[in-house]
């Protein structure tokens, strides 16, 4: 419980409303990364993040929905999670993240 609270406080520090993650989130995240082990935008295999297409803080009911997840990286120089997932601003959302990741991948 303490770890979940610390994570929620970190999210709140970054401007997200204070919400606790599901106890199942860690397992869902781990399974998703096993099934999707590369960045959807650049194929990087390092510094991977599981990004919520519809943000968790706005759609907590979709937190564990696999169709609402995409793997993006925070690899130095690319930072696909920030740049494609959040349009360069952590407070932004990108509803077109899947298409934008595909466009970026095809441009490489």
Q: What is the pLDDT along the chain (108 residues), one digit of tens a residue?
A: 677 667 766 766 666 655 678 999 999 999 999 999 999 999 999 999 999 999 988 899 999 999 999 999 999 999 999 999 999 998 899 999 999 999 999 998
Closest CA relative to residue 22, chosen from 52, 49, 43, 53: 52
Give the start-to-end residue ranges of the domains of the chain.
24-107
Cβ pair 28, 62 in contact under 8 A: no
The model carries a pTM of 0.82
Strand boundaries in the chain, DSSP class E? 48-52, 69-73
State residue 10's pLDDT score: 73
State residue 20's pLDDT score: 78
State residue 6's pLDDT score: 74
φ and ψ at residue 67, rounded to 5 degrees:
-70, -10
State residue 27's pLDDT score: 97
């Amino acid at each position: 419980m303490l770890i979940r609270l610390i994570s929620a406080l970190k999210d709140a520090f970054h401007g997200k409303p204070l919400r606790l993650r599901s106890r199942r989130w860690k397992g869902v995240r781990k399974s998703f990364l096993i099934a999707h082990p590369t960045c959807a935008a650049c194929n990087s295999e390092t510094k991977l993040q599981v990004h919520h297409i519809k943000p968790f803080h706005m759609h907590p009911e979709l937190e564990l929905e696999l169709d609402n997840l995409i793997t993006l990286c925070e690899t130095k120089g690319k930072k696909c999670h920030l740049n494609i997932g959040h349009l360069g601003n952590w407070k932004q959302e990108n509803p077109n993240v899947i298409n934008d990741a595909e466009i970026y991948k095809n441009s490489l």
